[in-house]
Amino acid sequence: MKPLAAALLLAAAATAAHAGRPCEEKPPTARQIEQGLNLAQATARQLDASGAQVVLLARAGQDLSKHGLQWSHLGFVYKDTTQQPAVWRVMHKLNHCGTDHAALYRQGLGEFFLDNPQRYDAAFVVLRPELQQALLPVLTDNRRVARFNERRYSMVAYPFATTYQQSNQWVLETLAGAAAPNIGNRRDAQAWLKAQGYQPTDLHLSTLTRLGGRLTQANIAFDDHPSARRFTSHIDTVTVDSMFAWLPRANLSDSPQQIQK
């Protein structure tokens, strides 16, 4: 089996993969499992009621409130009608624990929320119908869904460079490829995003913070960021919050909806 196919199919291995969070080997508690499954059920109910086939779903895997951010991780969610009754599948990118690389995973909603999030909340945006139609065949095809995937991972990857890629950045670039079929590679996707007015989040990280992160964590790198920005403590990266602000403004989605539990 090819490595990508294995990563997509062996979703159970996701216990050793995280969206940029520290590695945790402890199995979930019964309470955490209950909370995760309850949130998954509430999410499925709201997604069913939305009438959508493809949405973007956010979870709060880390506490990013000190940066003014509410959500940490984003994935595509699509309705799999090959199953009866139809079920919701999550396609997202996860960092391999303790490493500088990542892979794509296809999971159920339950698995998506069993990754020990910082809080059991979620939100989603319903994409425009034409964008849903363009994305659906991509998300169900292992080869096509990996078109814009870069294995080298940095939690703070620069949005307009191709050295690394973080989880939310893969979603954003894949979405761009579906919205503009003439896009052929990551650089084209990034140029289109710039032209459409996408603005990344500006994280203000001191030199000491950057140095500590780079020396102690393999999944953090800053060498892809422009020197002028980096040396003045401005680190631009793709966040869920920045995407949720941009998508409705670019007329690509409805406004974000919180999951009502």
According to the model, what pLDDT value does residue 52 have?
A: 98
Q: Using an 8 Å Cβ cutoff, are 60 and 70 in contact?
A: yes
pLDDT tens-digit profile of 56-94? 999 998 888 888 899 999 999 999 998 889 999 999 999
- Please give the DSSP secondary-structure letter assigned to residue 129: H
According to the model, what pLDDT value does residue 17 have?
A: 62
Cα 144 to chain centroid, rounded: 17
H helix intervals, 140-182: 142-145, 167-179
According to the model, what pLDDT value does residue 206 have?
A: 52
Assess whether pLDDT exceeds 60 at residue 195: yes
Task: Report, as an integer, the average pLDDT of 27-47.
Answer: 94
Question: 250 forms bridges with which residues in the sheet?
Answer: none
Count of C-beta atoms within a 10 Å radius of residue 195: 9
Out of 113-117, 171-175, 203-207, 221-225, which region has the weakest mean confidence (pLDDT)? 203-207
Assess whether pLDDT exceeds 90 at residue 151: yes
How many domains does the chain contain in total?
1
Cα 230 to chain centroid, rounded: 24
According to the model, what pLDDT value does residue 218 have?
A: 81
> What is the rounded end-to-end Cα distance, in angstroms, of the chain?
40
pLDDT tens-digit profile of 11-26? 333 445 665 445 666 7
Backbone angles phi and psi of 232, in degrees to 5: -110, 20
Instruction: Look over the chain and give the mean of its residue pLDDT values, rounded to a whole number.
Output: 87
In terms of residue numbers, what domain contains 116? 3-258
According to the model, what pLDDT value does residue 118 have?
A: 85
According to the model, what pLDDT value does residue 231 have?
A: 76
Task: Report, as an integer, the average pLDDT of 219-248.
Answer: 91
According to the model, what pLDDT value does residue 4 have?
A: 38
